[in-house]
Structure 1
Amino acid sequence: MTDASPDSPPRFTEVAPRVWVAHYDWMHVNITLVGGSDGLLMVDTHGSAAQARMVADDVRRLGAGPLTGLVNTHEHWDHHFGNATMVEQFGEMPIHATEWARDHVEDSARHTFEHYEQTTDHPRREEILATTLLLPTQTFSSAVQVDLGDRAVELIHPGRGHTAGDLVVRVPDADVLLGGDLIEESDPPFIGDDSWPLEWPITLDLALGLMTDSTVVVPGHGQVVDKAFVQDQRVDLGTIAETIRDLASRGVPESEALAQGEWPWDPDLLVSAVRLGYAHLPRSQKRLPLV
């Protein structure tokens, strides 16, 4: 089922030459197409088979060429649960991800399926549970180039942040950077149980080094942004990391850190950040209590 008729205008909007972004209301997910003479590369595939069929219809409605490759920006389900549907709809194609992401897709998906098995009142429970998992097939550790014929696209692992397996996609000739969930516009970036809050700011520094002042930046969720937006988000994440370091160095217990810190975001969003930050700090940066 789709929410658009065949006569509807394309959902994909061209944000730079031969780079189209479609924004979906559910989870404010962005799906991006990068066009070349050999076909289209899709970055992320949405969070269920049903939603991916909608995306596939939108690709056909755009009419910009055949879909010839997929990229998963990391291992979280809302970015790759559409993989199998895209292959069913368009045929076999390479699915790119970092080695870490590929190696952790199954474990991450298992947690998602278990969660929705227990969440019996979620309106999308059945479509999520009906999704078939399809793992990435092409992996890399630091950087790789994808050939689209008359255009090269760079996949870069800038470091650990939202997860340990994040990648960004750079389209040099169009001055576009796709940030995955290292960058979010609809809400503050989600710092979860598999995030690296102390390293995230440095990872964003590397991503910022790939941008110019004119770069079009596509976040994993929310509206298209620019370099200045990413710089502001980096400042917030840096403040969170430095606040954790400061509190720990002064001997503030982890259990009191959220209450005592001056945070740029709602402290309720930072429970995992504080727990993981304290856990990731070396002993030399913690003022441990005497026992």
Structure 2
Amino acid sequence: MEFREIADRVWVHRAAWFDLNIVAIGGRDGVVVVDPHGSTAAGRQVRDAIAALGAGPVRAVINTHEHFDHTFGNAAFREADPDVPLHAHEVAAERTRDVGERVQRAYAEEHPDDERTPEVLATEIVPADHTFSSVRVLDLGDRALELVHPGRGHTAGDLVVRIGDADVLLAGDLVEESAPPALGADSHPMDWPLSLDTVLSLTTPATVVVPGHGALVDRAFVEEQRNLLGIVAETIRDLAGRGVPLDQALEVGEWPYPREVLADAVARGYADLPRAQKRLPLV
């Protein structure tokens, strides 16, 4: 496992499993780890690779949201230091255990041939214990990390990490490069574009953006993804406003992403719209 330095003391490992980006941020006082992988065993590999950087002790771990590929590595860092702070948005921390347990129940059935299945099932789920609602700043001695909840999007508990002195933004799964944005049953498609507006306000034209999955991107990529998600949201609003029934919306709408990845998003969008923006279904 190798970490590549993308800016001053900001290292990224792009893991093959889930194409996940794991980030280490160094400062005078030590290292902060962001999204430490999808099992305790994988988290131990992350821990050892970060130790090999020689950048100092791990001072904190951050989860950008509650999904298991971003949180199941927490236990590996607690093994090494029972007092290491684990940071997340309050909603993400609250949901980490339930989400993780559902994944463990389903993983063997959904991934019967995955060599990682035993380690996913063996992982102890350790939710974050340092939470916030809006903004938190972590002090690494000679640099500050801004943790910001820009609003609901991929989940209700997304956070981004701004490293201002390096002009780097860690976007979590609010931004994805290697696949369409994950609009799952726990996503909020009507809010996501507005949340990305807040993310964009934290960037400059030169900002390096680290997505949750895939290659590094820039502000222009985030703007494009925001606009496509905006089309999803406005299409849902238009269809519901015209009285198109939910079970017909996918076929009737013109979508910027494949229909097969949008079923949950459309159902969630219809559910989240206020009654005033919906008409009775067309007969």
TM-score bin (small chain): over 0.9
- Quote the offset at 1:91 in angstroms: 5.2
- Quote the offset at 1:61 in angstroms: 2.4
2: CA distance, partners of 1:144 / 1:260: 43
Match of 1:230 among 222, 230, 233: 222
2: CA distance, partners of 1:120 / 1:258: 28
Alignment of 1:1-291 (within 5 A): 11-90=2-81, 92-119=83-110, 121-123=112-114, 124-289=116-281
| Matched length | 282
Structure 2: which amino acid aligns with 1:278?
A: Y
Structure 2: which amino acid aligns with 1:226?
A: D
For the residue of structure 1 that corresponds to 2:266, the secondary structure is helix
Assess if the C-alpha contact under 8 Å between 1:119 and 1:125 holds in 2: no
Which region of structure 1 is more displaced relative to structure 2, 61-70 or 157-166?
61-70
2: CA distance, partners of 1:60 / 1:71: 17
The ranges of structure 1 where at least 4 consecutive aligned residues each deviate by more than 3 angstroms after the TM superposition are 117-120
1: CA distance, partners of 2:186 / 2:247: 20
Assess if the C-alpha contact under 8 Å between 2:27 and 2:140 holds in 1: yes
Instruction: Kindly report the root-mean-square deviation, in angstroms, between the aligned alpha carbons of the 2 structures.
Output: 1.4
1: CA distance, partners of 2:151 / 2:102: 24
- Residues 251 and 49 (structure 1), Cα distance of their counterparts in 2 relative to 1, 3 Å cut: same
For the residue of structure 1 that corresponds to 2:65, the secondary structure is coil
How does the TM-score come out when normalised to structure 2?
A: 0.96
2: CA distance, partners of 1:290 / 1:248: 10
For the residue of structure 2 that corresponds to 1:109, the secondary structure is helix
Please list every run of 5 or more consecutive structure 2 residues that lacks an aligned counterpart in the other structure: none
Assess if the C-alpha contact under 8 Å between 2:244 and 2:281 holds in 1: no
- Residues 256 and 138 (structure 1), Cα distance of their counterparts in 2 relative to 1, 3 Å cut: same
Assess if the C-alpha contact under 8 Å between 2:33 and 2:61 holds in 1: yes
Kindly provide the CA deviation profile for residues 246-287 of structure 1, in whole angstroms up to 9, marking residues without a partner as x: 111111111111111111110000000100011111111111
Matched residue, 1:8: none
2: CA distance, partners of 1:166 / 1:16: 23
Percent of pairs with identical residues: 55
Assess if the C-alpha contact under 8 Å between 2:243 and 2:282 holds in 1: no
- Quote the offset at 1:118 in angstroms: 3.3
Kindly provide the CA deviation profile for residues 45-101 of structure 1, in whole angstroms up to 9, marking residues without a partner as x: 100112112212211222222211100001111001000112213553111001111
Which region of structure 1 is more displaced relative to structure 2, 263-272 or 80-89?
80-89
Structure 2: which amino acid aligns with 1:189?
A: P
Structure 1: which amino acid aligns with 2:229?
A: L
Structure 1: which amino acid aligns with 2:5?
A: E
Assess if the C-alpha contact under 8 Å between 1:217 and 1:227 holds in 2: yes
Please list every run of 5 or more consecutive structure 1 residues that lacks an aligned counterpart in the other structure: 5-10
